[in-house]
Structure 1
Amino acid sequence: MPISFENLAGYAGLNKIWEALPEARLVGGCVRDLLIGRDVNDIDLASPYTPEDNIKKLQEKGIKTIPTGLDHGTITAVIDRRPYEITTLRRDVETDGRHAVVAWTDNWQEDAQRRDFTMNALSLDQQGILYDYFGGEADLKKGRVRFVGEATKRIEEDALRSLRFFRFQARYGQGEADQDACKAIKQNHALVRNLSIERVASELLKILEGPEVGSIIALMQQTEILSEILPHPDPENLKRLLACQDPPKALPRLFALNPDPSIGRHLKLSRMQQCALKAYANNEPILLPGGSDDELRRLKVAQELSLLIDRSWLWQAKELGKPSKEWSHFRQRLSLLPQPEFLLTGRDGMELGLPPGPNLGIWLKKTQNWWLEQGCRPDKEACLAWLKEQVSSDS
């Protein structure tokens, strides 16, 4: 029976692409998610035509094209502002564990052979006919993440597939992980050293923000991949955070798994991400779930709310390692309290007669400290009155 395209109702441009490229097929994640009824977030197609022919045929139908990855045979068609990635069928000519030299082909099975997992080697034509060369549909229904062909060969072609295996196992796997895959990953765990750290970091963060994190990290530890990609992994510490039923955020989980702010530099994360990790490592300001509203307002002045929330989960994990109504209430109060803002500026001070310069900054700082002591409650007029009184008494 043909596969229904009901879940693709939002991709009206797909029919226009099939008018231009009638032999093109849906491939990859969109086919996988269609089969199990999940929402489709993007559309990838494969075509037996060369990239140049794909561009020509699409443009003849008035479809805008962008040569997003011509070296790899990939172009992007844009219809009603929605992108559709189209890649020419390929075969590997040469691989080095990181990159592949490819050649075009018109053989669908040859293209499917170079994909990582059987569930990713499926393709679907415009009639809804599914093409399954390696048993991917059955594996998908059973929740079995299995390499196409020989697992070791697939990993040797691209060591990143070892990390992708864990991510797919978390999202699509059911029950025990495929033993052939785990054995091959363990035997070839050192190959991930050849990957760029940016590729490793990208996959690791996706794993940490996904489902089944505890069991997947344990599996990564068993296959010796975890110690290859992190200098000082601490899965037990991560377990404490997960036991608190934390939200699926990658950075706090990364810090729990490797509680050293230098891990951000090691993984070459963005500057913003590295700053967040440093904030997690800093015990100031102190978080107290039973604090007053004044104390909570001071916290919100001292540190960004998102960092305070992240740190509260890490503190809860450290102190309790289990769910806590008290900590949940603390986060709720933090979120609901309006953000305090100290409104005095240098101009306000000068209007009171203070000359510009370092002394003006000192007076503003004194006023802000008083404002903080008052729980950030005084408004601008009250702050001005306090400053005026202090300046007068000092003169």
Structure 2
Amino acid sequence: MTQRTGLLDRLPDRKGLDRIWGVLPAARLVGGSVRDLLADVPVHDLDLATPEPPEEVQRRLEDAGIRVIPTGLSHGTVTAVLDGVPYEITTLRRDAETDGRHAVVVWTQDWAEDAARRDFTINAMSLDRHDRLHDYFGGQEDLRKRQVRFVGDAPCRIAEDALRALRFFRFDARYGNGIPDPAACKAVSEHLKLIETLSAERVASELLRILSGPRVAETITAMAAVGLLQVILPDPDLAALNRMLNCDAPANPLLRLFALCHENSRELPGRLKLSNADAARIEVWASDRPVLSPGMSDDDLRRLRAEQDLDQLVERSWLYQARLVGTPDSTWDRFRSGLQALPQPHFPLSGRDALAQGILPGPGMGQWLKKGRDWWMTQGCLPDRTQCLAYLAGYP
């Protein structure tokens, strides 16, 4: 189906797009940009497809004075950069071979053939420079009905790329009506073995996007119902995740992932190949030290601030609240407010002060500083440098 629309008028700035169309008049906007224009939500990336082969696309753009980055020539993709804004341009393709993880593609001149290799009907539409919408698989109607369906045969789409099983639930959470497509769910449940062929990094990226999106509880429950969640995570605890969500905690996907797998959280970094920073954060949460409790005095809160990073303390407070309360709670709100209101305490002595006291570098210096810091902590992290030195006078 082809029809004229007013979608291009919804773009806040189309100068870069018009310049590309001046060089590649057959190109069309594709995928998410068209979907989101139709849904009347902000469009973040303007991706295009075109019948010309990638080398020809690059030559034409460069001849027009447009900066080009050959981001994926073997996959038919170049990126045009205009006024600092990237536009990804991909040659029309069809899959020659697929193995559930990667596809071997060949170029085509057929827009319908290119659309047929896309995942969902709502992502298979295109929009040309004349503001005409090209919709080969009923994506506009599905978007209107809030239905997320695979293009063509759902099992085939998943067999081509098993990550689409996770993508289905991510898109259904954002664009669906709350009842996942039965054909899609059946196809996912029948192809769970393919998930094991995916790289952990790809799975983790998609899962964290699901956990940061809308309708998290419904989506995770639907994933568990088809067995997908259990393939990805060790003994997921949906009740614990729901307690976290019920607390109205910030939409931190890593925190939600930890709540979902709190009993086996130390397995997560290796299982999902998380970054070192995320692995370190999970280790802090799993160690559960220092202990947190609402109603702590200001001295207690300063001690906490001296022991641990403020962000980690606040994150851990949500884990405590979810575990112990499971609902919004003013006492934990006051606890976080109290933590954040206090200035960051810093122990006022250093090795230079020890040297000035005639203490040489080595174990003795470490013991001297530790004794001073322990006393400073017992005093609520309030004594200044002079007071700490007075306490340590004559030691060792």
Q: Which stretch of structure 1 is more off in the superposition, 184-193 or 200-209? A: 184-193
Mapped pair 1:271 → 2:295:
no
Deviations 1:77-132 (A, max 9, x none): 11112211111110010111111010001111110000000010011112221111
Counterparts of 1:210-249 in structure 2, within 5 Å, are 210-249=213-252
1:231 Cα deviation from its structure 2 partner: 2.1
Q: Aligned equivalents of 1:238 and 1:283: distance in 2?
A: 18
Q: Which amino acid aligns with 1:71?
A: S
Mapped pair 1:343 → 2:351:
no
Match of 1:65 in 2: 68
SS at match of 1:262: helix
Identify which of 258, 281, 286 aligns with 1:281. Answer: 286
Q: Aligned equivalents of 1:288 and 1:246: distance in 2?
A: 17
Mapped pair 1:86 → 2:89:
yes
Match of 1:131 in 2: 134
Counterparts of 1:143-158 in structure 2, within 5 Å, are 143-158=146-161
SS at match of 1:77: strand
1:10 Cα deviation from its structure 2 partner: 4.2
1:11 Cα deviation from its structure 2 partner: 5.2
Match of 1:197 in 2: 200
1:345 Cα deviation from its structure 2 partner: 1.4
Match of 1:105 in 2: 108
Identify which of 156, 160, 165 aligns with 1:162. Answer: 165
1:3–1:130 contact (8 Å) kept in structure 2: no
Match of 2:77 in 1: 74
Deviations 1:29-62 (A, max 9, x none): 1111111111111221111110001001101110
SS at match of 1:154: helix
Q: Aligned equivalents of 2:112 and 2:154: distance in 1?
A: 18
Q: Which stretch of structure 1 is more off in the superposition, 96-105 or 1-10? A: 1-10
Q: Aligned equivalents of 1:11 and 1:270: distance in 2?
A: 37
TM-score in terms of structure 2 length: 0.95
Mapped pair 1:18 → 2:18:
no
1:7–1:40 contact (8 Å) kept in structure 2: no
SS at match of 1:92: strand
Q: Aligned equivalents of 1:33 and 1:306: distance in 2?
A: 34
Q: Aligned equivalents of 1:336 and 1:155: distance in 2?
A: 50
Q: Which stretch of structure 1 is more off in the superposition, 182-191 or 3-12? A: 3-12
Match of 1:377 in 2: 382
Q: Which runs of 5+ in 2 are unaligned?
A: none
The percent identity for this pair of structures is 53
Identify which of 300, 304, 312 aligns with 1:299. Answer: 304
Q: Which runs of 5+ in 1 are unaligned?
A: none
Q: Aligned equivalents of 1:123 and 1:382: distance in 2?
A: 72
SS at match of 1:273: helix
1:381 Cα deviation from its structure 2 partner: 3.3
Q: Aligned equivalents of 2:56 and 2:8: distance in 1?
A: 26
1:80–1:337 Cα change, 3 Å = same
Q: How many residues are aligned here?
A: 391
1:330 Cα deviation from its structure 2 partner: 1.2
1:9 Cα deviation from its structure 2 partner: 2.2
Q: Which amino acid aligns with 1:12?
A: K
TM-score in terms of structure 1 length: 0.96
CA RMSD of aligned residues (A): 1.4
1:4 Cα deviation from its structure 2 partner: 3.1
1:76–1:85 contact (8 Å) kept in structure 2: yes
Q: Aligned equivalents of 2:100 and 2:181: distance in 1?
A: 22
Deviations 1:266-317 (A, max 9, x none): 1111111111111111121000111011111111121112211111111111
Identify which of 314, 327, 332 aligns with 2:332. Answer: 327
Mapped pair 1:311 → 2:316:
yes
Q: Aligned equivalents of 2:154 and 2:100: distance in 1?
A: 13
1:115–1:148 contact (8 Å) kept in structure 2: yes
Match of 2:267 in 1: 262
Q: Aligned equivalents of 1:202 and 1:37: distance in 2?
A: 26
1:7 Cα deviation from its structure 2 partner: 4.1
Q: Aligned equivalents of 2:389 and 2:57: distance in 1?
A: 69
Deviations 1:225-268 (A, max 9, x none): 01111122111211111111221111111111111222221111
Q: Aligned equivalents of 1:382 and 1:141: distance in 2?
A: 70
SS at match of 1:58: helix
Q: Aligned equivalents of 1:139 and 1:381: distance in 2?
A: 72
SS at match of 1:310: helix
1:68–1:75 contact (8 Å) kept in structure 2: yes
Q: Aligned equivalents of 1:238 and 1:72: distance in 2?
A: 39
SS at match of 2:299: helix
